[in-house]
Amino acid sequence: MTSIKDVARDVEMSTATVSRALRGLAGVSGETRARVMESAQRLGYVPSPSAAGLASGQTRTVAVVVPRVTQWFFAAVVQGAEEVLRESGYDLLLYNLAGDASARHRVFETSLLTKRVDAVLVLSLKPSPDERERLSRLGRPVTIVGADMPGWATVRIDDREAAATATSHLVDLGHERIGYIGGATEGVLDFTAPSARLTGYRCVLEKAGVESDPCLEADGGFTIAGGQEAALSLLQRPDRPSAVFAASDEMAIGALRAARELGLRVPEDVSVVGIDDHEMARYFDLTTVAQPVHEQGRVAATQVLAALADDDWTPEQVILPTELVVRRTTARRARSAGR
């Protein structure tokens, strides 16, 4: 393996100069730089990240902690982040929790991240106070994507508002009995979105003068199967809702499936609306509140890179806009529906 020494010997200069030239630092004559580059190229020199990391204390690597990559939302955020990191020459270390509590424990508790990465992106998880303590002890920029965490750098949508938009859409269509499918408001994979969305839903109902019925709130665990089950229970009630708002498109898709199983037509018998604008949403004709997923990854990565570049950078809270996308799973309430 050819090292910086070989290049230095080749151009008859010190390794310090070669290092400077290679990294494009100032204070190197144009001619020297050119000679170094040429030599490095010719010798097939490839820098050693380990050595550079050891000497500089920087790994040029960013950790991305994600609940489950197989969920489209997370994959899309990762993709967005990867793009901007790669552009800046940073590598992306993926930590996939896959719903496994012990995996989460390992990532946060043991200092898996210490001395490994320059910054961390945490997707849709709300670190516990203990985990937060560990994260800040890392002494590295951390950005939370998709969750609210005052005092920390975050990139997200206004979940309360998104839920309100979805619910209002249903109310505007004349629906009064509106079911809600959400997720645990606490737990291993701890999001803040679930509770914010529930709040948005409840607020709109209240404002509309509809008394909210706890029986109409079900837990779909943010998965398709969970949404299906939750919808099944909701739609089999004698006083079944004429519309269902699912806090994620995946749960909404499950709800669609449940409706079909029960022989209910969508949107004639029951309206369904979700949140995300999942890539599959249009193929289900799903009405939803779209959020800029990919963009959240990009912004988050940009944010940690900025923090890395600027010593007195203060955490920002970025909120990206959402937009109602009306497709064909929602319609005006039929006179007979929902009693």
Partner DNA sequence: GTGAAAGCGCTAACAA
Partner DNA sequence: TTGTTAGCGCTTTCAC
Residue 137 interacting with DNA (CB under 7 A): no
Based on DSSP, count helices (H) and strands (E) in the chain, helices before strands: 12, 12
Quote the least distance from Cβ 101 to DNA, whole Å: 28
Closest CA to 184 of 220, 153, 154, 152: 220
Among left, alpha and beta (phi > 0; psi -120 to 50; other), residue 254 is alpha
Select 74 or 201, whichever has its Cβ closest to a second copy: 74
Tell me, rounded to whole angstroms, the distance of Cα 75 from its chain centroid.
8
Residue 138 interacting with DNA (CB under 7 A): no
Select 54 or 319, whichever has its Cβ closest to a second copy: 54
* Residue 14 contacts which entry, DNA, a second copy, none (Cβ below 5-8 A, type-dependent): DNA
- Could you say which residues in the range 56-75 bind DNA, by CB under 7 A? 56-57
Quote the least distance from Cβ 1 to DNA, whole Å: 5
DSSP 8-state secondary structure symbol assigned to residue 112:
S
- 34, 38, 41, 54: residue in contact with DNA (rule CB under 7 A): 54
In angstroms and rounded to an integer, the radius of gyration of the C-alpha atoms of the chain is 25
Amino acid in position 101: A
Terminal Cα distance for the chain, rounded: 77
Any bridge partners for residue 219, and if so which? 182
- 34, 38, 41, 47: residue in contact with DNA (rule CB under 7 A): 47
- Could you say which residues in the range 228-267 bind DNA, by CB under 7 A? none
Closest CA to 67 of 96, 24, 109, 30: 96
Select 50 or 336, whichever has its Cβ closest to DNA: 50
Burial of 9 (0-12, 13-18, 19+ CB in 10 A): middle
The residues of the shown chain that bind a second copy, judged by CB under 8 A, are 1, 44, 46-51, 53-54, 59, 61, 64, 68-70, 72, 75-76, 78-79, 82-83, 86, 91-96, 98, 103, 106, 111, 114-116, 224, 253-254, 256-257, 279-280, 283
Quote the least distance from Cβ 33 to DNA, whole Å: 7
* Residue 253 contacts which entry, a second copy, DNA, none (Cβ below 5-8 A, type-dependent): a second copy
Quote the least distance from Cβ 151 to DNA, whole Å: 29
Any bridge partners for residue 194, and if so which? none
Select 46 or 94, whichever has its Cβ closest to DNA: 46
- 24, 26, 283, 311: residue in contact with DNA (rule CB under 7 A): 26
Alpha-carbon distance of 76 to 120, in angstroms, equals 17
Residue 283 interacting with DNA (CB under 7 A): no
Burial of 100 (0-12, 13-18, 19+ CB in 10 A): middle
* Residue 20 contacts which entry, a second copy, DNA, none (Cβ below 5-8 A, type-dependent): DNA
Quote the least distance from Cβ 217 to DNA, whole Å: 50
Residue 143 interacting with DNA (CB under 7 A): no
**Helix 249-261 and helix 224-235, axial crossing angle in degrees, nearest 10:** 50
DSSP 8-state secondary structure symbol assigned to residue 69:
T
Alpha-carbon distance of 163 to 317, in angstroms, equals 20
Residue 32 interacting with DNA (CB under 7 A): yes
Select 251 or 275, whichever has its Cβ closest to a second copy: 251
**CA distances to 276, 283, 297 from 279, in Å:** 9, 8, 16
* Residue 336 contacts which entry, DNA, a second copy, none (Cβ below 5-8 A, type-dependent): none
Select 96 or 233, whichever has its Cβ closest to a second copy: 96
Cis peptide bond N-terminal to 194, omega within 30: no
Q: What's the token pair of residue 196? A: 């914010």
- Site of interaction with DNA (CB under 7 A): 1, 3-5, 12-17, 19-20, 22-23, 26-29, 31-32, 45-48, 51-52, 54-57
